[in-house]
């Protein structure tokens, strides 16, 4: 019998609230804020997966998300914007977008998998910069102004006229991504990845191919980030190099850290927090365009007070409550916050 | 008892009086509180054009004061917006001012916030090229809302995107440079030229105007260099500029212009103004004062504006801006900034919108279809000449170009050329089927342009 835990109760309640959101929230909240939260959460989940299970904190996820988005933009637009304007079906755009994003992630992963710690961070940051400058400079595929008028598939769009459709698609995809990441983490591949995270030397001596595992993990996370990129361009109808600049890269890192780098759920918690702060803080006159200063301060406080992010606070609250988990936990040590991830 | 009965008889009468009074009050209330029209403005308060944020808002507010009876909230800070203002009893409510940064991605985010969260009916803006292409595409998805441009001059916005609810009463970058190619080839004697322009839609359009006309009359553009917008170190781009040409056209704008010219001087020595033509940024009030006096003699493409035009309308406009605002930060006194691309761009677009609203008596019902049809027919007698919209809702405008000169040891601008009625096709050079202006388009070929040899000299003050 499935055990009822506070985590599961809250998870199911959140899902029910999300499904019913269009009934009690405004169309702006659903179509703009929550949809944005869902796809940003997917990108952050790819980062958290790499960090929590592979010990790799990647700053390259936004680059891969952007590659998927730019590919979709180039192949699905038709005539009146920058880029290739191939005018293909949006579904072919998804296939090609994800395929190229995964191929790029495989290449990026193969190059970065030999490095660890700060060097891994710097190499993946380089990927973001390369993607940003490439799409800015190569005007055949984008240029500074980017690609506008990117269509969503007929059954979903036009997005602005049927905002709930894309919301539910994003919700379904986010749920699928969450379940997939949970599943992967429990497969032999996921367990091997956690072993590589904790002691790569020992795993190598046991005969595991460390580099190959890390590369495949990076490519898989790239697939997840690419899914987020596709949803982003459907939602925004536009992508340009500023969509994947350094600021966007840091935003996804902030989302992951604020949500909690140790648990996949943290991605959407952090994304919701980020999106709300981003949206409403600008209406406060003394903050206005100084949003990044505010989110930077919040980031600092979260890192100092709760290295496990907002989800870490929840874990602490549960640990102190009568509902605290008893007996052996099914979560790995890093999820339980007992071990610091190696970066 | 009888008295009581007579009182009962009064009850229906009293009821009738109350109903009648309520009806009268309701009618009066309805007359006095016609539904407000919710207006948003999208400006750039950050990025390369962030320093012109208050000029943008000064243009909007001045038009609101002049044509809708509004009042500036703060005469020293246009960004505070306006109070009051109505069209046929419909209050013009400012619901928000977006803060973009010349990037399309930010412009879209801000547009969504203004239109969807703050529920604006109409938006005025954005400021720059790529932003306007993205906003015009957004407008296409929202046909029941109306958008008028701010000061953006990318060609694609109206020639390619062609959203039926996006209107632009200012010219595009190519239109603004009409006359410069003819001037360079036939008056300055340039046979060859180099072009440097920011690597984005507006500057491509701006360069396209010069290239198309210079080549049309027989000139050759031997090199085109495109530094990214927001570049801070232009040294590598300045190094690429050839010196074996007769002149150089510079379409580096906003915060990049001064750093580019400094880098150019470091690479090639002091600038000779006579060998340079700049686009509108060289003559934008608040900007040209910062240029070195060495650029005196350079010609400057306009933005359909001429602050020194000696017509009563042009002078009245300068006075109007000076009357509504004392200061437009950060550049100081308001009146001299009236002819800025940004002040005038936002002013003329807001005016066009208000003229449309007046034509429909403020009625924006029916998905704003009547309003949009009315705006398309608006003809304005602007301070600088007549403006009307073409079939793509793009303005056909009078164009002026200027020259920098030294006045009491300081740089000043005087208007020296005038071409009326320049349309976006640029004499048939650009159509919706031709490639968008870019790094390689238009090609350098000879062609006929209707205004070659017909540039007039306007009467100016001072």
Which of A240, A245, A247, A243 lies closest to A144 in space, CA to CA? A240
Which residue reads 């005969």 in tokens? A207
Contacts of B137 in chain A (CB under 8 A): 80-81, 148-149, 237-238
- pLDDT at residue B254, as a whole number: 77
In the predicted model, is pLDDT for residue B369 greater than 50? yes
Q: Which chain B residues have a beta carbon less than 8 Å from that of A137?
A: 199, 228
Over residues A207-222, mean pLDDT: 97
What pLDDT shows up at residue B33? 61
pLDDT, tens digit, 9 for 90 and up, residues B128-184? 999 999 999 999 989 999 999 999 999 999 999 999 999 999 999 999 999 999 999
Residue B257 has pLDDT above 70, yes or no: yes
Q: Output the pLDDT for position B12.
A: 58
Q: Which residues of A touch B105 (CB under 8 A)?
A: 146, 236, 238-240, 242-243
User: According to the model, what pLDDT value does residue B17 have?
Assistant: 54
**So what's the pLDDT on residue B31?**
42
Chain A: give the shortest CA distance to residue B227, in Å. Answer: 9
Strand B247-251 versus strand B276-278 pairing type: parallel
Q: Do A146 and B129 touch (CB under 8 A)?
A: no
Helix (H) or strand (E) holding A187: none
Band the pLDDT of B11: cuts 50, 70, 90: low
Contact criterion met (CB < 8 Å) for A137 and B106: no
Residues 146-185 of B with CB under 8 A from A: 154, 156, 160-162
Average pLDDT over residues B319-338: 96
Q: Has residue A332 got a pLDDT over 60?
A: no
> Tens of pLDDT along B443-459?
999 999 999 999 999 99
Which of the residues B97, B112, B230 would you substitute to probe the A interface, choosing the one with the greatest number of A C-beta atoms within 10 Å?
B112
What is the nearest CA distance from B358 to chain A, expressed in angstroms? 29
For residue B201, the chain A residues in CB contact (below 8 A) are: 144-145
Instruction: Yes or no: say if B321 and B338 are a contact pair by the CB < 8 Å rule.
Output: yes
Name which of A129-143, A322-336, B24-38, B288-302 the model is least confident about: A322-336
Cβ contact, residue pair B113, A279, below 8 Å: yes
A82 vs B contacts (CB less than 8 Å)? 436
A113 has a pLDDT exceeding 80: yes
Distance from CA of A6 to the nearest CA of B (A): 34
How far does A148 lie from chain B, in Å, by closest CA? 6
SS (H, E, C) chain B: CHHHHHHHHHHHHHHHHHHHHHHHHHHHHHHHCCCCEEEEEEEECCHHHHHHHHHHHHHHHHHHHHHHCEEECCCCCHHHCEEECEECCEEEEEEEEEEECCCHHHHHHHHHHHHHHCCCCEEECCCCHHHHHHHHHHHHHCCCCEEECCCCCCCHHHHCCCCCCEEECCCCHHHHCCCHHHHHHHHCCCCEEEEEECCCHHHHHHHHHHHHHHHHCCCEEEEEECCCCCCCCCHHHHHHCCCCCCEEEEECCHHHHHHHHHHHHHHHCCCCHHHEEECHHHCCCCCHHHCCHHHCCCEEECCCCCCCECCHHHHHHHHHHHHHCCEECCCEECHHHCCCHHHHHHHHHHHHHHHHHHHCCCCCCCCCHHHHHHHHCCEEEECCEEEEECCCCEEEEEEEEEEEEEECCEEEEEEEEEEEEECCCCCCCCCCCCCCCCCCCCCCCCCCCCCCCCCECCCECC
Give me the pLDDT at residue A339, please. 43
pLDDT of B18 > 70? The answer is no
What's the gap in Å between the CA of A183 and the closest CA on chain B? 35
Chain B residues within an 8 Å CB radius of A276: none
Asked if B161's CB is within 8 angstroms of A80's CB, the reply is yes
pLDDT band at B9 (very low <50, low <70, confident <90, very high): low
Cα-Cα-Cα-Cα dihedral sign, residues B411, B417, B423, B429:
negative
Q: Using the predicted structure, report yes or no on whether residue B235 has a pLDDT greater than 60.
A: yes
pLDDT of B34: 86
pLDDT at A289 (0 to 100): 66
Do B46 and A289 contact (CB within 8 A), yes or no? yes
pLDDT score at A133: 93
Q: What is the pLDDT of residues A259-309, one digit of tens each?
A: 999 899 999 999 999 999 988 887 777 776 677 788 889 889 988 999 899
The whole-angstrom separation of Cα B244 and Cα B192 is 9
In the prediction, which pLDDT does A279 show?
86
* Residue B395 half-sphere exposure toward CB, CA atoms < 13 A: 36
Q: Would the pLDDT of A1 be above 90? A: no
Containing A147, the helix (H) or strand (E) segment is: strand A147-148
ipTM of the assembly? 0.81
Give the one of B117, B137, B154 whose C-beta lies nearest to A149's C-beta: B137
Mean pLDDT across chain B, nearest whole number?
92
Q: Do B105 and A160 touch (CB under 8 A)?
A: no
Q: With a cut of 60, say whether residue B1 has pLDDT above it.
A: no
Tokens of B373: 């049809």
**3-state DSSP call for residue A148?**
strand
Confirm or reject contact between B129 and chain A (CB < 8 A).
Answer: yes
- Whether pLDDT at A331 is above 80: no
* Of residues B8 and A271, more confidently modeled: A271
State which of A148-162, B63-77, B247-261 shows the largest mean pLDDT: B63-77
Q: Alpha-carbon distance B243 to B36, whole Å?
A: 59
Task: Spell out which residues of chain B touch residue A158, defining contact as CB-CB under 8 Å.
Answer: 141
Integer Cα distance of A187 and B346 in angstroms = 60
- pLDDT category of residue A341 using cuts at 50, 70 and 90: very low
Q: Do A159 and B162 touch (CB under 8 A)?
A: no
Q: How far apart are CA A145 and CA B24, in angstroms?
A: 56
Q: What would the pLDDT profile of B94-139 be if each residue is shown by its tens digit?
A: 999 999 998 999 999 999 999 999 999 999 999 999 999 999 999 9
Partners of residue B108 in chain A, C-beta under 8 Å: 236-238
Range of lowest pLDDT (A58-67, B21-30, B149-158, B390-399): B21-30
Write out the two tokens for A323.
């509902």
A123-127, A294-298, B17-21: the lowest-pLDDT one? B17-21
Q: Residues 362..391 of B with a Cβ closer than 8 Å to A: which?
A: none
* Inter-chain CB proximity A28 and B117 less than 8 Å: yes
- Give the per-residue pLDDT at B253: 83
Give me the pLDDT at residue B6, please.
Answer: 53
- B174 φ/ψ angles, rounded to the nearest 5 degrees: -75, -45
Select the residue of B105, B129, B154 nearest A238 (Cβ to Cβ). B105
d(CA A295, CA A177): 26
pLDDT of residue B25 exceeding 80 = no
- Chain A hits for B435, CB-CB cut-off 8 Å, are none
Residue A278 is predicted with a pLDDT of 87
Residues of A contacting chain B (CB within 8 angstroms): 27-28, 31-32, 79-82, 136-137, 139, 143-146, 148-149, 158-161, 236-240, 242-243, 279, 282, 288-289
Among candidates B99, B116, B138 on the partner chain, residue whose Cβ is nearest the Cβ of A28: B116
């Amino acid at each position: 019998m499935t055990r009822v835990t506070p985590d599961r109760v809250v998870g199911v309640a959140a899902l029910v609230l999300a499904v019913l959101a269009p009934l009690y929230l405004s169309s702006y909240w659903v179509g703009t804020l929550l949809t944005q939260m869902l796809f940003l959460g997917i990108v952050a989940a790819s980062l958290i997966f790499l960090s929590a299970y592979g010990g790799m904190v990647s700053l390259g996820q936004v680059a891969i998300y952007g590659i998927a988005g730019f590919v979709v933009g180039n192949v699905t637009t038709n005539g009146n914007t920058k880029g290739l304007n191939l005018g293909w079906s949006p579904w072919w755009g998804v296939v090609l977008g994800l395929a190229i994003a995964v191929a790029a992630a495989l290449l990026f992963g193969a190059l970065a998998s030999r490095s660890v710690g700060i060097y891994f961070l710097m190499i993946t940051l380089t990927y973001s910069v390369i993607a940003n400058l490439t799409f800015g400079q190569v005007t055949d595929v984008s240029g500074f102004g980017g690609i506008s008028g990117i269509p969503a598939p007929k059954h979903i769009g036009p997005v602005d006229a049927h905002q709930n459709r894309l919301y539910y698609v994003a919700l379904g995809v986010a749920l699928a991504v969450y379940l997939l990441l949970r599943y992967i983490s429990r497969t032999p591949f996921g367990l091997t990845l956690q072993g590589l995270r904790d002691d790569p030397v020992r795993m190598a001596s046991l005969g595991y191919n460390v580099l190959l595992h890390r590369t495949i993990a990076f490519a898989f996370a790239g697939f997840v980030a690419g899914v987020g990129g596709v949803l982003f361009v459907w939602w925004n109808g536009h992508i340009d190099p500023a969509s994947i600049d350094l600021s966007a890269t840091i935003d996804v890192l902030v989302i992951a850290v604020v949500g909690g780098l140790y648990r996949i759920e943290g991605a959407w918690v952090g994304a919701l927090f980020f999106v709300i702060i981003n949206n409403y803080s600008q209406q406060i006159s003394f903050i206005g365009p100084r949003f990044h200063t505010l989110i930077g301060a919040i980031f600092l406080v979260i890192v100092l007070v709760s290295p496990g992010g907002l989800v870490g606070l929840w874990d602490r609250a549960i640990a102190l409550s009568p509902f605290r988990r008893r007996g052996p936990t099914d979560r790995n040590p890093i999820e339980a916050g007992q071990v610091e991830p190696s970066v | 008892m009888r008295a009581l009965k007579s009182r009962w008889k009064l009850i229906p009468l009293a009821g009738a009086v109350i109903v009648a009074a309520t009806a009268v009050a309701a009618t009066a209330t309805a007359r006095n509180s016609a539904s407000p029209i919710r207006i948003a403005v999208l400006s750039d308060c950050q990025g390369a054009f962030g320093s012109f944020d208050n000029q943008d808002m000064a243009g909007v507010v001045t038009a609101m004061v002049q044509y809708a009876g509004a009042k500036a909230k703060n005469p020293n800070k246009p960004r505070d917006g306006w109070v009051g203002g109505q069209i046929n009893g419909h209050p013009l409510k400012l619901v928000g001012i977006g803060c973009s940064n010349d990037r399309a991605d930010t412009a879209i985010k801000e547009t969504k916030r203004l239109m969807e969260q703050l529920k604006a009916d109409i938006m005025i803006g954005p400021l720059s090229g790529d932003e306007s292409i993205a906003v015009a595409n957004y407008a296409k998805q929202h046909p029941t809302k109306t958008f008028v441009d701010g000061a953006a001059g990318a060609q694609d916005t109206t020639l390619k995107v062609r959203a039926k609810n996006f209107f632009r009463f200012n010219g595009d970058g190519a239109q603004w440079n009409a006359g410069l190619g003819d001037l360079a080839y036939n008056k300055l004697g340039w046979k060859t030229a180099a072009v440097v322009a920011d690597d984005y839609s507006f500057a491509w359009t701006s360069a396209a105007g010069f290239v198309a006309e210079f080549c049309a009359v027989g000139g050759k553009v031997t090199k085109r260099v495109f530094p990214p917008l927001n570049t801070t170190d232009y040294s590598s781009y300045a190094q690429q500029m050839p010196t074996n040409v007769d002149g150089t056209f510079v379409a580096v704008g906003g915060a990049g212009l001064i750093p580019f010219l400094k880098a150019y001087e470091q690479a090639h020595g002091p600038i000779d103004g006579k060998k340079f033509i700049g686009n509108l940024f060289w003559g934008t009030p608040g900007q040209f004062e910062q240029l070195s006096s060495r650029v005196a003699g350079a010609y400057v493409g306009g933005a359909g504006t001429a602050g020194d035009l000696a017509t009563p309308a042009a002078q009245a406009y300068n006075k109007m801006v000076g009357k509504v605002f004392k200061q437009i930060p950060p550049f100081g006194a308001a009146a001299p900034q009236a002819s800025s691309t940004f002040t005038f761009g936002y002013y003329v677009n807001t005016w066009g919108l208000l003229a449309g609203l007046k034509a429909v008596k403020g009625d924006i019902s029916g998905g704003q279809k009547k309003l949009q049809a009315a705006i398309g027919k608006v003809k304005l007698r602007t301070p600088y000449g007549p403006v009307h919209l073409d079939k793509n809702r793009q303005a056909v405008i009078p164009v002026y170009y200027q020259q920098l000169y030294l006045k009491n040891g300081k740089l000043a601008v005087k208007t020296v050329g005038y071409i009326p009625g320049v349309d976006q096709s640029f004499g048939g050079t650009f159509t919706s089927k031709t490639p968008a202006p870019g790094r390689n388009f238009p090609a350098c070929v000879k062609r006929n342009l209707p205004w070659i040899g017909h540039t007039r000299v306007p009467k100016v003050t001072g």
